[in-house]
Amino acid sequence: MRARLVAGNWKMHGSRTSNRALLDAVIRGMSEISGVECAVCVPFPYLAEAAVQLARSAVGCAAQNVSEHAQGAYTGEVSAAMLAEFDCRYVLVGHSERRQIFGETDARAAAKFVAAQAAGMAPILCVGETLEERDAGRTESTVARQLDAVLEKAGVAALAKSVLAYEPVWTIGTGRNATPEQAQAVHAFLRGRIAGRNNEIAARLRILYGGSVKPANAKALFSMSDIDGGLIGGASLVADDFLEIVRAAESRG
């Protein structure tokens, strides 16, 4: 059985003071939860402090982005080796905000995926369609294209040390939800596509759902057979909400 994972994505939120309080509450809450892995993707400047606070806790440290380059004249970029120094277990790759606002291509996301793994971190590869693509019946072709770019560059074996996250763009930060059935259908499609290359890797791969996951809808989403946890934006900024979502993943059993 696949171990559940719930990851918080703080995006560009927080301060040293508010982070400390939030992490403290999440660490405390996680000490009473078992059977679910939990991580938080914190903004770069706070990683060092967060790593110290999270050390020896049940909450993993993670980053929101990484450069595809190892080092060099790339002003403003942060390499995978740098992140690994701060105990980052996971790093988001290809989040829709990176794709849409910062113009990240499928190829770039694939290069970041490879760079993260080369430094010993597990990439959380995000895929998802826009509302326009969904309405045009292009949900599957869109997520397939995003996934295939990584499969081609890294090879299917590389997925064994990664996590996939399906995040329909039209549900991110919008309060709109994919129904559990809509989400499950895409998760099953993604798993099936990977199974076409390697059955075992597909069966073991954790596929998270993200996009306006809240305490009220988490349980129904996590009860679907191919949904192995969540990538949580807004609700991860409120400790009680985030912990309730983690507990919803636990209770799926």
Q: Which residues are catalytic?
A: 95, 167
The two structure tokens encoding residue 231: 């990538």
Task: For tokens 């982005």, name the residue.
Answer: 65
Q: Which is nearer to ligand PGA, 203 or 216 (CB)?
A: 216
From the number of C-beta atoms within 10 Å of its C-beta (0-12, 13-18, 19+), residue 75 rates as exposed
Residue 71 beta carbon to ligand PGA: minimum distance, rounded to whole angstroms: 28
**Residue 16, by phi and psi: left (phi above 0), alpha (psi -120 to 50) or beta?**
alpha
Q: Going along 19-119, which residue ranges are E strands?
A: 36-41, 59-63, 88-93
Residue 2 beta carbon to ligand PGA: minimum distance, rounded to whole angstroms: 20
User: What SS3 class is residue 122?
Assistant: strand
Residue 123's beta-bridge partner residues?
91
Residue 231 beta carbon to ligand PGA: minimum distance, rounded to whole angstroms: 4
Query: Which residue has its beta carbon closest to ligand PGA?
Result: 233
Q: Which is nearer to ligand PGA, 167 or 226 (CB)?
A: 167
- As a whole number of angstroms, the distance between CA 51 and CA 46 comes to 8
In 3D, which of 48, 65, 145 has the Cα closest to residue 113? Answer: 65
- As a whole number of angstroms, the distance between CA 162 and CA 117 comes to 8
Q: Which is nearer to ligand PGA, 19 or 70 (CB)?
A: 19
Q: Which is nearer to ligand PGA, 92 or 110 (CB)?
A: 92
Contact by Cβ (8 Å): 60, 92: no
Residue 249 beta carbon to ligand PGA: minimum distance, rounded to whole angstroms: 14
Which positions touch ligand PGA (CB under 6 A)?
A: 9, 167, 172-173, 210-213, 231-235
Q: Which is nearer to ligand PGA, 60 or 233 (CB)?
A: 233
- As a whole number of angstroms, the distance between CA 51 and CA 87 comes to 6
Residue 196 beta carbon to ligand PGA: minimum distance, rounded to whole angstroms: 27
Considering only CA atoms, give the Rg of the chain. 17
